Amino acid sequence: MLKTENSIRPATCQRYLHFTLSTIRWSCHLNDAQMVIIEPRVDREAGLLHIKIPMHGKGEPDVTVATSLDPTPDQLASFELVRDITIWGFQTDGYAVSKEADDALSRYFDKPVRLVRKGPTMRPSGPHDPCGPTVYPRAEASVNMQDFYPILVATEASFAHVRHTLFKSAYPNQSRTNGSDLPVDTDVATYKIPASLNREYWTPDHIERLEIDRFRPNIVLGDAPRNDKSYALKMVPWEEDGWEAFEIFDKSDANATTMFGKDAEGKGRGIYTLVRCGRCMVPNIDPATGIRDAHLPYRVIIQSRKVDPSIDKPCFGMLSCAREDSGTLHVGDIVRVTRTTDPDLRKLDVDWVNP
């Protein structure tokens, strides 16, 4: 069952990035951790993207700037087109949409920064082909300002496994209280935790309530409850590693409850899961404070989830793309996995990740 609401078309915020003016290289949470506490808000009724920049650390009031969600051709023509923006070794361009945002972001980061919206130059997506057809030609598959693919799919079962592994590694002699509604997974190993771990921060309760937004998925899938709130079938941690495709049906679609596997193929809105996502240390950043922890969760998941021999990174989530070129998903939609493969045959390909 779908647990997050999103558009199949890449989210509006993924069309934007900020970059350092001196290098014209994109900036991300990894090298600017305080970026995570900048708050974007989409106002579809007004057609605006609001960006709240917290300036209290500078002794100034917070700044909120607004830019159009879908600028008209005339508006785009009025913006400066910044060329030769480098993202993961690839060159693209972007429209500088707000002098006010540039000024506020530059003060916030203490360096010259500009906010840009994806420009007209196509930025190709990754090299992994979907297992089925798309409504758009493969040669036209592209991304905006995301890393490699437009969608990251995760499951609650796998995140519960991560959280339980963190708990058991940090507090091996303590029982979980399971303060959330996620299941307790008893089949987890214990991994080495640095002695310098900040236990005033990483309390048992904090680990229990750790949220999946640290991993920034677009789509989160969970078990579908029955009417009595029990679960007929439970997802298995990391089963998504072997998915190749799944269909999403509106929860009001009566046919969705009777279709499984190949019978569901092509009947809903299609998502192709292409390859496991290698993770950096961005999940170590607290989304509420912008403070990056030196150890967790990375130091545990690099031991427990280093499952792709082609990269020296832990994996969480599936890099994915949509079969359709647009559409809307809703919380509670029904999901049917239609194609699977051997996870060990899937490789992210280090040469492509680091061009």
Which of 160-169, 269-278, 338-347 shows the lowest mean pLDDT across its residues?
338-347
Give residue-wise pLDDT tens across range 210-228: 999 999 999 999 987 665 5
Q: What is the pLDDT of residue 231?
A: 53
The contacts of residue 206 (CB under 8 Å, 6+ apart) are none
Q: What is the pLDDT of residue 230?
A: 55
* Comparison of pLDDT for 259 and 276, the residue scoring more: 276
Give residue-wise pLDDT tens across range 192-215: 999 999 999 999 999 999 999 999
Give residue-wise pLDDT tens across range 292-348: 999 999 999 999 999 998 888 999 999 999 999 888 899 999 999 999 999 988 887
Burial of 95 (0-12, 13-18, 19+ CB in 10 A): buried
Instruction: Verify cis geometry, omega within 30 degrees of 0, for the bond prior to 130.
Output: no
Write down the pTM of the prediction: 0.87
Burial of 239 (0-12, 13-18, 19+ CB in 10 A): middle
- Give the position of tokens 């490789």: 347
pLDDT band for position 24 (cuts 50, 70, 90): very low
Work out the average pLDDT over 31-37: 83
How is the chain split into domains, by residue range? Answer: 12-120, 151-353
Q: Is residue 212 within 8 Å of residue 156, measured between CB atoms?
A: yes
Which of 9-18, 224-233, 278-287, 320-329 shows the lowest mean pLDDT across its residues?
9-18
